[in-house]
Amino acid sequence: MKFILLVHHDETAFETFSEEKKRSLLSDSIGLCHQLDTQGQYVHASPVHPAASATLVRVRDGKPIVTDGPFIETREQMAGYFLIDAKDREEAVAIAARVPGATIGTVEVRPVREVEGLP
């Protein structure tokens, strides 16, 4: 079963970290990806650019409404994700606890729906 682990943290606080700490978090995340890959659980992972680079698209009355970010006022913003294979929710939660971003923010664990007919 696939799960997405959405990593959230406070971007403003993250920017105050030393370059060494940022590199360490990235290195630890890459290491986790390699561990998961060895166990056949890695599907994909990546950090995302800051919320200010986001674009929100809504369609109302058939017309797209495009808003450049940041568009949500919240203390934590999505920082990246891991897409994994896990046997169940408990295993996914255990993997989420190993995500380095969990030490500075929150990791949201959500099962991914399998949709027939997708490539």
pLDDT in tens, 46-74: 999 998 888 888 899 999 999 887 666 67
pLDDT for 33? 98
Using CA atoms in the order 51, 118, 85, 101, what is the torsion angle rounded to 10 degrees? 0
Go through the domains of the chain in sequence order and give each one's CATH number.
2-111 (3.30.70.1060)
pTM score: 0.89
SS3 state at 118? coil
pLDDT for 57? 87
Question: What's the mean pLDDT when you consider all of the chain?
Answer: 93
